[in-house]
Chain A
Amino acid sequence: MLWESLACRTNPDDRLRLLLDYLRRVPDPDRGFAMAALAARLPIARLSAARLKALAAERVDAQLLAASLGFVGDGPETAALVWPQDLTANRPASLAEVVDSLAQAGKAAMPGVLAGWLDRLATPERRVLLRLASGARLFADTRAIRRALALLGGVDQVELDVAWHDDRPPYAALFAWLAGRAARPAPRPGGYRPLMQPPLLDEAALPGRDPADYLACWQGQGQRALLAAEAGIARLYSADGEDLSAEFRGALTGRVGDAALDGEVVSLPRGGTVLRVLDALRLDDQDVCALPFVERRTRLAAWLAKRPGGWGTLAPTLAFADWADLRRLLAAPAEGAQGIVLIRRDGRYRPGEVQDDACLVWRRPAPRLGAVVLYAHRLGTALAELTIGAYGEGALLPVGRVALADAGAERQRLVAWIRDHAIGWFGPTCQVAPTLVVEIAYETVSRSARHKAGLTLTGARLVGVRWQAPVATAVQLAELARVLPR
């Protein structure tokens, strides 16, 4: 039920309130398993679509099942709806009971165990269980879960994020801490630590700041990441805590050394990657967060110098005398850079969202273009995203996706337009007549093998609708190809 409510809401505050309400109402360990289910962290074996169909065919006549599937379209949803509930059977005592038995069942026994539970559950519960078993992600916004947990316990978001990442479902230690029954769980060595998240610079406030207080580096040339190495085991996490280690196994083996480094994984022109290190949280066995940035940087440089040829390289600082210098640099940024990060020379490293001026990001002005709306996509029950396209070789090809929420006051009118111009629905996707031009701001044009156009707009967002503009005024693929990085 919680998931269905969440899936229908687009407003982040609504989701937070729904999550908090659930966390306050539901006891342990069920609420922990529910959060794990939402975040796709439950240890349940996958069930193939064919296996699922076979399972449903044991309960429902094959012809009726086929007619149902033809109408609904989605396998897990159909199975959840047609599955006959045995109202005489006992309902499971708890979510924990269901999860435990599924986790313990081997791959061979799992479908049988699952079917046994489906007999005893109601439609919304069957729906969630079947989605999990089919490997679908329930809820993309794991940050909302972590925010709700921090609010529930009235604890620091950074400490919560660490504990969430260290713990495992049903998060007994975490909830004990949040309820005040136990001390904060000790952070796991080499585990995830939230990175410093600087706010965007307000240019109007620049005159009040002294350029001499700051060091500056290019920002956004690669994926922000934390390298956490301890006792010979190195792990790489995204800023949001996703474990990227498997993807970078080659780079992480050997020659890293114990440390917690904040940097960006940058692709090299001739292939391969490098971790461009901006800052350090820990060097060898010393926590350096409390040191001023210049001191951290000096130590970081020395530490990296002892490991020549390693994966990590020190991010260079930019030379500037005043703000005008930086503004000039931003007008022609280094390849791929989204902006400049400014860090106070005397600032300490503060994980999580930074509220003051200790660290700031100065974004380069986003370029804009007009693109044609091709598809609308729903997330949950609401339309949430648009696929936008550009003309190339006589055809309109998709070049990116933008969130509908950014349309602000225009959203309602856009949704109405989409309904009026829908050509057909394909699962969560609605194809529309390609007659509307929207204004898009974006960060870069990058190569993409996944797009037929061969390129995509990264960091694209909707900034307006050009209701009256003819589609011929939209951007051409050739124009985008010209600004591709070589």
Chain B
Amino acid sequence: MRAHELLRATPAGLYCPPGDFHIDPTRAVARAVITHGHSDHARSGHGAVLATPATLEMMALRHGAVRGGQALVYNHPVVVNGVTLWLAPAGHVLGSAQVVLQMAGCRAVVSGDYKRTADPTCPPFEPVACDVFVSEATFALPVFRHPPPESEIARLLHSAALFPERCHAIGAYVLGKTQRLIRLLRQAGYERPIYLQKQALAICALYRRHGQDLGTLLPAAGAQPGDLAGAMVLTSGGDLALPVDTVRGFASGWMGIQEHARRRDCELPLALSDHADWPELVMTLRQVAAGETWVTHGRADALLRQAKLDGLRVRALADIAGEGGH
């Protein structure tokens, strides 16, 4: 079997013709395999959904009970219409998975979003040798080299120690980044309560059910301004009354570039990302050594160039989809 017979790009997203299911479809489909709970991957309204238990719970948290939900733990193969399918850890957020498809000697891996840096909230990315590897490219430029997470946490804690009377409010994506920040803070010895918004608290409860120790978390909405003085608050936007003398930070891979940090008008930019940076992307493509890599979810030009230097075959998924499927 040839790779494009096992997996092809369609307007609704990646589709496996023999298995008759989509992966992270962009619209409601009959049967979907979902890599992880972020909203650009886990849309609602599908007829049936296959995903890790944590991802299914995240979808239920956002949209209510998932119709036709089938939970599949990591590295446990199932057969769907003759296609062997299993989920391998992607190291992105809790429950995030790569989808491995295999049929008639051909193997494709759809990695979803992934990173290679250790993350206390999820098992590490497992490289799976394959014929086709579909990779994200969020930070696919050599300027993106995320610093070690520990050094960013150290900067945050240094600021908290140097300005003990000030509230530190760090903007962070509500699913994944927030929980990782909490775990990293706890690992670095920060034991005081951390204040969160309602939605983040609900997701943290889900993380707790999956064995994640997040320490004491309190609702920011119920706190008096006096409580927040000197406190740590993680926010994901929206209305939140913060003390006047708050140190505002933001945790994102884009913060590694000073220009982006400046545009956010924040005082404490933390370059902390759940996506692979440039060295991790290059390393992963070399490790997986797929016959062909399809790049999506970001910019492809630099990876195409790097692949050429490395003697690898890389194509932009957009170009493949543009060919109209053969």
Contact = CB atoms under 8 A, between A and B. Distances in A.
Contact of A381 (B144, B262, B301): B262
Nearest to A124: B147
B155 A380 contact: no
Contacts of B269: 8, 381
B263 to A, nearest CB: 7
B143 interface: yes
Given A8-B261, A64-B302, A81-B257, A71 B143 contact: yes
Contacts of B267: 8-10, 14, 381-382
A65 B278 CA distance: 13
Given A17-B162, A71-B143, A72-B259, A382 B265 contact: yes
Interface residues of A, number: 39
Contacts of B301: 67
Given A8-B269, A64-B306, A380-B262, A78 B143 contact: yes
B145 interface: yes
Nearest to A415: B265
Contacts of A7: 258
Contacts of B141: 64, 67-68, 71
Query: Binding site of A, secondary structure by majority: helix, strand, loop or mixed?
Result: helix
B163 A17 contact: yes
Nearest to B309: A61
B255 to A, nearest CB: 9
Interface string B145-165: 101000000010001001100
B264 interface: yes
B256 interface: yes
A419 B237 CA distance: 15
Contact of A1 (B155, B263, B305, B306): B155
Given A21-B162, A382-B265, A383-B265, A77 B142 contact: no
Interface residues of B, number: 28
A123 interface: yes
Given A64-B305, A67-B305, A127-B258, A72 B266 contact: no
B145 A64 contact: no
Contacts of A17: 162-163
Contact of B142 (A9, A10, A82): A82
A21 B155 CA distance: 13
Interface in A364-421: 378, 380-383, 415, 419
B263 A123 contact: no
A381 B306 contact: no
Contact of A382 (B142, B144, B162, B262): B262
A9 B159 CA distance: 11
A61 B309 CA distance: 9
Given A61-B305, A63-B305, A123-B147, A73 B259 contact: yes
A72 B155 contact: no
Contacts of A74: 259
Contacts of A105: none
Contacts of B256: 81, 123
A115 interface: no
B6 interface: no
Interface string B241-271: 0000000000000001111011111111100
A425 B256 CA distance: 18
Contacts of A10: 267
A77 B305 contact: no
Given A67-B301, A123-B147, A378 B142 contact: no
Interface string B296-318: 00000110011001000000000
B262 A67 contact: no
A373 to B, nearest CB: 16
A60 interface: yes
A21 B143 CA distance: 30
A428 interface: yes
A60 B278 CA distance: 13
Contacts of B155: 1, 5
Interface string B263-306: 11111110000000000000000000000000000000110011
Contacts of A71: 141, 143
Given A17-B163, A61-B309, A67 B302 contact: yes
A30 to B, nearest CB: 18
Contacts of A315: none
B257 A72 contact: yes
Contacts of A73: 259
Nearest to B148: A122
26 contacts: A4-B258, A8-B261, A8-B269, A14-B163, A14-B267, A17-B163, A61-B305, A61-B309, A64-B141, A65-B142, A67-B301, A72-B259, A74-B259, A77-B257, A77-B258, A78-B143, A81-B145, A81-B256, A123-B147, A127-B258, A378-B262, A378-B263, A381-B262, A381-B266, A415-B265, A428-B262
Given A67-B302, A382-B262, 15 more contacts: A5-B159, A7-B258, A9-B267, A14-B267, A63-B305, A64-B142, A64-B302, A72-B257, A81-B142, A81-B144, A123-B147, A378-B263, A381-B264, A381-B267, A419-B265
